[in-house]
């Protein structure tokens, strides 16, 4: 229990102190009007208060991510606590802050546009495609589960439930951000928080102690902790999907100082939620072996339902149903909204995207493959979400690092976690079954070599920008 409570305290301290340091490195300016005012269109660019932005951002980036991922990551034991705390403070919080603030600084630009500006158009073309694939996979994966549960609890068939959900998706995607998302999401964000806090308090009085820190890998299947844990628990530590969601709220910010509360703050709250559910997974089933059996029997939704109803009674059952149905749907609709915004931004080079009919057509074109993907195996989809998600996270951190180098600022706050995540994905892609499925030792060797090449590139960029600043070719900002 000491480890669990200490981890929560560290996350809070990380927000209080490290987020302020990150903000000072970035340098905010409240005298400059934000895109919410300069580009107001009453669709995507609409001013909203920071607390609404924080709750909407939390729901956009979280959904069931910090619940399902944390429960699966709990199979590794209390080592999951370390990753959530360190990942959230030094990687995820920084990642989310820069993805939101750089978008705001560049007129509400989408993630691929930021990548192209700082890493080049070839990387932008790759990340455009990867971001769209990631968001369609997320939307599909987070729709199939709720539709299945609705079909079990109501007279509706699976396909009918799916059609109802996608009808809502289309409305949420094309209506102004303050009409549906701005009104409903703060309430749903509050439900997500209430659910996690209730479980956390109940755990403190549970008849089994929350495990304390051990550096041993307790995974019953003897899966290696590196790099699998860093991909299994993404929401709650660092998730590339967040960088596709941040521009939604970046377009609604009233002032730059709201960014720390919205982006870094939502990430820390998500980290606390992940800590609570990781602790619940380890504790409730009397160890990782019991958790593995529960996951095999009922999947993550069954585990969440059993924990909630047992610890919180009828209230827990209601919250579990609300969570398993509503929360993933709210992630799916903003995933589609972001993909619509990314594709519209790309097509704006060729067409006038202020045309409402074209925006509607784009939405339908994106919804169609997502609807199809929702009808296939959920676990198959989720396997590919993991590694694409963390590749996107690595690219966003490198974007932030180059931005800081270009402006002669302390680039290490993005560069160090970017190197770490690069090492994770370079190894994971070769080892994981959804990757190349190679031998673990060989995957480690190849991953290390590729990471070394990226490190050399990083050093070259550092030297290059230092020379440019000395020659006066670039101005510090």
Taking alpha carbons only, the member of 456, 342, 423, 393 closest to residue 94 is: 393
Taking alpha carbons only, the member of 110, 151, 117 closest to residue 131 is: 110
Q: Which residues contact 265 (CB under 8 A, 6 or more apart)?
A: 15, 19, 54
Taking alpha carbons only, the member of 224, 331, 317, 279 closest to residue 70 is: 279
Pick the CATH number of 2-379 from 3.40.50.720, 2.60.110.10, 1.20.1740.10, 1.10.10.10: 1.20.1740.10
Q: Which residues contact 257 (CB under 8 A, 6 or more apart)?
A: 23, 28, 30
pLDDT at 380: 62
For the segment 358-384, the average pLDDT, to the nearest whole number, is 73
pLDDT at 308: 84
Can you tell me which residue has the tokens 């990781």?
278
Q: How confident is the model at residue 185 (pLDDT cuts 50, 70, 90)?
A: confident
305 within 8 A of 100, measured Cβ to Cβ: no
How many other CB atoms sit within 10 Å of the CB of residue 412?
14
For the segment 6-35, the average pLDDT, to the nearest whole number, is 96
In a 3-state reduction of DSSP, which class is residue 211?
coil
367 within 8 A of 169, measured Cβ to Cβ: yes
Q: Which of 14-28, 105-119, 186-200, 411-425 has the lowest mean pLDDT?
A: 186-200
Taking alpha carbons only, the member of 159, 147, 134, 72 closest to residue 324 is: 147
pLDDT at 473: 64
Whether residue 129 has pLDDT greater than 90: no
Q: Measured between alpha carbons, how far is 75 from 288 in angstroms, rounded to an integer?
A: 5
For the segment 17-42, the average pLDDT, to the nearest whole number, is 94
pLDDT at 66: 84
Q: How confident is the model at residue 287 (pLDDT cuts 50, 70, 90)?
A: confident
For the segment 61-77, the average pLDDT, to the nearest whole number, is 85
As given in the structure block, the two tokens for residue 298 are 């009922």
Phi, psi for 156 (deg, rounded to 5) = -70, 140
Q: In whole numbers, what is the pLDDT of the chain averaged over residues? A: 86
For the segment 287-310, the average pLDDT, to the nearest whole number, is 85
Task: Fill in the DSSP letter of residue 90.
Answer: I
Can you tell me which residue has the tokens 């755990």?
203
For residue 440, give Cα distances in angstroms to 225, 275, 312, 326, 430: 12, 28, 42, 38, 8
pLDDT at 461: 96
For the segment 437-450, the average pLDDT, to the nearest whole number, is 95
Peptide bond into 251 cis (omega under 30): no
Q: Measured between alpha carbons, how far is 259 from 261 in angstroms, rounded to an integer?
A: 5
């Amino acid at each position: 229990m000491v480890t669990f409570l200490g981890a929560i305290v560290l996350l809070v301290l990380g927000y209080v102190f490290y987020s302020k340091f990150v903000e000072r490195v970035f340098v905010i300016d409240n005298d400059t009007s934000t895109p919410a005012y300069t580009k107001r269109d009453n669709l995507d660019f609409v001013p909203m208060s920071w607390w609404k932005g924080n709750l909407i951002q939390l729901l956009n980036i979280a959904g069931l991510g910090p619940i399902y991922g944390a429960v699966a990551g709990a199979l590794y034991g209390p080592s999951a606590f370390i990753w959530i705390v360190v990942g959230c403070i030094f990687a995820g919080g920084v990642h989310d802050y820069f993805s939101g603030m750089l978008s705001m600084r560049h007129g509400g630009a989408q993630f691929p546009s930021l990548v192209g500006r700082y890493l080049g158009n070839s990387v932008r073309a790759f990340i455009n495609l990867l971001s769209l694939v990631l968001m369609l996979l997320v939307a599909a994966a987070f729709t199939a589960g709720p539709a299945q549960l609705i079909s079990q609890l109501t007279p509706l068939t699976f396909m009918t439930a799916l059609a109802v959900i996608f009808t809502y998706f289309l409305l949420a995607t094309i209506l102004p951000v303050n009409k549906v998302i701005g009104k409903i999401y703060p309430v749903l964000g509050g439900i997500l928080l209430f659910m996690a806090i209730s479980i956390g308090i109940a755990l403190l009085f549970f008849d089994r102690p929350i495990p304390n820190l051990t550096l041993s890998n307790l995974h019953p299947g003897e899966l290696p902790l590196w790099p699998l844990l860093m991909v299994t628990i993404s929401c709650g530590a660092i998730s590339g999907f967040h960088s596709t969601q941040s521009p939604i709220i970046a377009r609604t910010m009233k002032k730059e100082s709201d960014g720390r509360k919205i982006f870094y703050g939502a990430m820390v709250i998500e980290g606390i939620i992940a800590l609570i559910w990781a602790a619940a997974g380890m504790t409730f089933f009397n160890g990782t072996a019991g958790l593995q059996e529960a996951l095999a029997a009922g999947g993550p939704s069954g585990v969440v339902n059993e924990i909630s109803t047992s610890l919180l009674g009828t209230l827990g059952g209601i919250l579990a149903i609300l969570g398993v149905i509503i929360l993933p749907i709210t992630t799916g609709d903003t995933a589609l909204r972001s993909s619509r915004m990314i594709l519209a931004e790309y097509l704006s080079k060729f067409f006038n995207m202020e045309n409402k009919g074209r925006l509607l057509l784009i939405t339908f074109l994106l919804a169609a493959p997502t609807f199809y993907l929702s009808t296939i195996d959920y676990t198959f989809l989720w396997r590919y979400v993991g590694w694409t998600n963390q590749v996107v996270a690595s690219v966003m951190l490198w974007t932030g690092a180059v931005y800081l180098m270009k402006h002669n600022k302390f680039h290490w706050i993005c560069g160090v976690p970017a190197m770490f995540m690069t090492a994770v994905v370079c190894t994971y892609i070769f080892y994981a079954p959804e990757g190349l499925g190679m031998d673990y030792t060989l995957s480690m060797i190849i991953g290390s070599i590729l990471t070394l090449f990226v490190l050399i590139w990083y050093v070259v960029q550092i030297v290059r920008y230092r020379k440019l600043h000395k020659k006066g070719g670039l101005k510090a900002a």
